[in-house]
Structure 1
Amino acid sequence: MARPPLPIGAWGKISRKEVEPGIWRAMARFRDFDGKTRQVERRVPGKNGAAAERALVAELLDRANSVGADVTRESRLSAIVPLWWAEQDDKNLADRTRDRYTDVVDNHIIPGVGNLRMREATVPAMDRFLKTLGTSSGKATAKHAKSILSGILGLAVRHGALDSNPLRDVSPVRTASKAVRALTVDEARALRAGLQIWQEGKNAAGRARPQDLLDVIDVMLATGCRIGEAMALRWSDIDLASTPATATINGTVIFAKGQGLKWQAHPKSEGSRLTYSLPAFARDMLFRRSTEVVRNPYDVVFPSAAGTLRDPSNYRKQWNKAREDLGFTWVTPHTFRKSVGTILANSSGIDAAAAQLGHSSTAITSRHYVERSLAAPDHAEILQAFGATGDG
């Protein structure tokens, strides 16, 4: 009769044998995570094989832990978080994403449900936690926590500690969605003209205003890139000699905890690493800057006044003052990205807009980056058929 298979992560009887003078082998059958049973052995010098057996047991325990024997229904959620973090380390997370994960895990998930055992991580428990978190810390935080918890408990499912992921059945965390508002062509022209004049003036203290707010905006209007990506644009990323001129988004400027402002060697998403053909107004602006601006050690096109990386947050503060004076108080740096998405969707289709913005799905573009038109398509001639008279 065939022997019944060992459970996953279990091993059979250990045997010892002296294979050479003073060299002992300990061996046992072990059933791996792929369901295959293998012979595992360790050879160690010794008098009677005890050391070889101890080495084998240590190896078998390590292999058993690697297939989930350390995650059970009695494991606390907080004990699984390090395993989840180990999986994230393989994903090359952006620094800001990692900081956000850390904040939500350390300040909300661990204090809120970290002491629950896996058998206690039920749909009602998770639903109650997320609703409470949404009330106390905001729906956006609750939505982020739900995503992270789904990953943590999904890991528990893969290790056999849960039969299914309870996050699949909790109530959706609904956040209020704002209608997309983008600049029309006429508004963009008026804003650019007004900003050009505004930059030439002085502030209330008689000091010169920032001279390059418009230049940064022109890069965003020419590409659809984000403000951090515009600040990270380097002269080495630009080819003004080609026809048309091009600019490649290769990174972004972020503020990382413990590190300060840094140039991140990839944009927000891998899909955003794109080479853009530049319209003439952006090409001409960059050519002018290439002859006027003093180069800096970072090679960025838009450095700070001190020649260092420029903080996107500082740019936003400067822009907030300008927009108040110009009467465009609703316009943020992200509005320019939405304006690019809207004009391309209306002229070339949603696929073209999604490709320009580096989105993996047109649904993202349509929902968050294209202003909805309130005018229905002109089908008056077709619909006239309902009101036609006579036999025709």
Structure 2
Amino acid sequence: MARPPLPLGTWGAITRAQTAPGQWRARAKYRDWDGRTRTVERFGASGAKAEAALKVALRDRARPAAAPADVTRDTNLADLGTIWLDTKRRQNLAPKTIELYEQTIRTHVTPAVGELRVGEVTIGGLERFLDTKTGTVKKRCRLALSGMMGIAAKHDAVDRNLVRDTTPAAVQRKKPRAISAAELTILRARVAAYAGTHGGDGKPTGPPRAVDLPELFEVFIGTGGRINEVLPLEWSDVLWDSNQVVLNRTKGGENMLVLTLPQFAIDALKVQRARMLPGGLVFPSRAGTARLAANVRRQLREARKYVVRDARGKADGPAGMFEWVTPHSFRRTVATVLAEELGEERAAGQLGHSGPDVTRAHYIERKAVAPDSSAELQRRLAPSPPFTHPK
């Protein structure tokens, strides 16, 4: 019965032989990656040295030649991170996503493990590095390292992606929360009171703040658009005849999304147009340039705690009641309302998602009140005769 072949990338017993005074040969059969078994030998001043040299040669031979990207066991993680980032830039990813990946490599991965070579990476070493991170930072570092070591594995620089054997980051996903109608009324009043004032006490200490902040937020509420989709809006994107607006997408999928606006959003755009601000942007900065998302987020943080009082001096609520509200909260609110009224497919379509799964997981608030199924339960499960209390 024929002896079974060696597994690919392995070798048989090593034999030693003295070939001359002071010279030894170590030899072994090695099954190459093309399936052929070849003899590999190395020489040394002693049998032990010859065998040690042979083992190094066999180990290196077990790593097939690198792919054109030139990723080998000697590639350091800093260079591998650059290669991984290049592959991500060629994909249809949002600029913000690429920016986060670059920041993760630059700020966390490269300073800590960038000098390590691919062949030196171990599960324990990866685990120790990831243990120095928490939350979303740990999750991003693990994602980046997994992508990097995945490239190394595809180029046969390592046997497998070792990052997959590390402990995943425990990130608690927040449940989507929508703004209720009552909360939205209070928030609108706070934004309106905040807009155009100069300081927290209303005294003129500088140029007035964004007077068009209420109109900007009405467009957020009327579209469900992301902040970086709404801020670059130009008047040429507003289709007055059909009450529609064209959003330029910041994430994957179609580059544009045409949305039909509710009347309150159309009214807000008309108010903004009447201001006759220079340039083609709908909501420009004071300098006439595109508004920065960071500035709008800061203004919302200030406006949401701007307490409004009635004629008798009664506050509309605590200053911190909207501490959880961000520009993305309007997007979740739109998704929740549409899902309740028209179904999850319509909500996903409004947000530009290809299907309702992402919308359901990240945007639609789940209510604690179950739908009224009492009639069906009564019809199918009621006792006969009807249940009565004993007298």
Normalised TM-score (structure 2):
0.70
Partner of residue 237, structure 1: 237
Q: Does the alignment pair 1:372 with 2:370?
A: no
Report the 3-state secondary structure (helix = DSSP H, G, I; strand = E; otherwise coil) of the residue aligned with 1:236.
helix
Number of the residue aligned with 1:303: 284
Q: Which residue of 1 aligns with 2:103?
A: 103
Structure 2 residue 222 is the aligned partner of structure 1 residue 222 = yes
What corresponds to 2:72 in structure 1? 72
Aligned residue for 2:330? 336
Q: Show the counterpart of 2:203.
A: 206
Confirm whether residue 267 of structure 1 aligns to residue 250 of structure 2: yes
Match of 1:188 in 2: 184
Select 1:144's aligned residue among 140, 145, 155. 140
Partner amino acid, structure 2, of 1:371? E
Match of 1:249 in 2: 247
CA RMSD of aligned residues (A): 2.8
Structure-to-structure mapping, 1:32-47, within 5 angstroms = none
Instruction: Give the Cα–Cα distance (whole angstroms) in 2 for the partners of residues 165 and 88 of structure 1.
Output: 18
In our comparison, the structure showing a higher alpha carbon Rg is 2
CA displacement, residues 316-345 of structure 1 (integer Å, 9 cap, x when unaligned): 222222211244523221111110111011
Structure 1 128/202 Cα, relative in aligned 2: closer, same or farther at 3 Å?
Answer: closer
Residue pair 1:227, 1:333 contacting (<8 A) in 2 also = yes
Amino acid at match of 1:285: A
Deviation at 1:238, TM superposition (A): 0.8
**What's 2:172 paired with?**
176
Match of 2:156 in 1: 160
| Residue equivalent to 1:24 | none
What displacement does 1:163 show?
A: 2.3
User: What residue identity is the alignment partner of 1:329?
Assistant: F
Shift of 1:381: 2.6
Q: Is the 8 A contact 1:157 1:165 kept in 2?
A: yes
1:338–1:369 Cα contact (<8 Å) kept: yes
2: distance between equivalents of 1:175 and 1:84?
Answer: 24
Which whole-Å CA distance do the structure 2 matches of 1:267 and 1:176 have between them? 25
* TM superposition shift of 1:228: 2.4
Tell me: CA distance 1:387–1:125, structure 2 relative to 1, closer, same or farther (3 Å).
Answer: farther
Q: Distance in 2 between matches of 1:121 and 1:333?
A: 41
**Cα deviation digits, residues 190-221 of structure 1 (max 9, x gap):** 43355445547664253355321110111111
Cα contact 2:66–2:155 (8 A) shared by 1: no
The answer (yes or no) to whether the contact 2:195–2:209 under 8 Å persists in 1 is yes
Query: Residue 179 of structure 1: SS of its match in structure 2?
Result: coil
- TM-superposed CA distance for 1:108, in Å, is 1.6
How big is the shift at 1:286?
A: 1.3
Q: Flag as ranges the 4+ runs of structure 1 deviating above 6 A.
A: none
Contact 1:271 1:360 in 2 (8 A): no
Q: Distance in 1 between matches of 2:229 and 2:95?
A: 14
Provide the C-alpha distance between the structure 2 equivalents of 1:105 and 1:202, rounded to a whole number of angstroms.
41
Preserved contact between residue 272 and residue 359 of structure 1 (Cα < 8 Å): no
Residue 128 to residue 197, structure 1, CA distance change in 2 (3 Å): closer
Contact 2:304 2:322 in 1 (8 A): yes
What CA distance in whole angstroms lies between the structure 1 residues aligned with 2:340 and 2:250? 26
Cα offset for 1:362?
2.7
Q: What's the counterpart of residue 293 of structure 2? A: 312
Deviation at 1:360, TM superposition (A): 4.1
Q: What corresponds to 1:321 in structure 2?
A: 302
1:128–1:362 distance in 2 versus 1, CA, 3 Å: farther
Secondary structure in structure 2 of the residue aligned to 1:182: coil
Rate the CA distance shift 1:80–1:294 in 2: closer, same or farther, 3 A: closer
CA contact (8 A) 2:190 2:303 kept: no
Match of 2:385 in 1: 390
What one-letter code is carried by the residue in structure 2 that aligns with 1:320?
A: R
My pick for the range that moved more, 334-343 or 200-209, is 200-209
- Looking at structure 2, the residues matched to 205 and 340 of structure 1 have their Cα atoms a distance apart, in angstroms, of 32
Contact 2:92-2:252 within 8 A present in 1 as well: no
Query: How far apart are the structure 1 equivalents of 2:114 and 2:94?
Result: 25
Taking the aligned partners of 1:272 and 1:179, their CA distance within structure 2 comes to 29
Residues 267 and 273, structure 1, Cα contact 8 Å, conserved in 2: no
What is the CA–CA distance in structure 1 between the aligned matches of 2:365 and 2:347, rounded to whole Å?
12
- Specify the SS of the correspondent of 1:276: strand
Q: How many residues align?
A: 306
Residue aligning to 2:260: 277
Give the residue type in structure 2 aligned to 1:368: H
* Equivalent in the alignment of 2:49: none
Segments of structure 2 that go 5 or more residues without pairing to the other structure are 1-64, 308-316
CA shift in 2, pair 1:343/1:119, >3 Å: same
Deviation at 1:159, TM superposition (A): 0.6
Q: Is the 8 A contact 1:240 1:287 kept in 2?
A: no
CA distance in 2, matches of 1:369, 1:379: 25
Q: Which has the higher helix share?
A: 1
1:362 aligns with 2:356: yes
Instruction: Give 1:346's match in structure 2, choosing from 317, 321, 340.
Output: 340
State the distance in 2 between where 1:391 and 1:309 align: 69
Q: Structure 1 vs Structure 2: percent identity of aligned residues?
A: 36
**Counterparts of 2:133 and 2:191 in 1: how far apart (Å)?**
42
The alpha-carbon distance between structure 1 residues 361 and 144, as it changes in their structure 2 partners (threshold 3 A), is farther
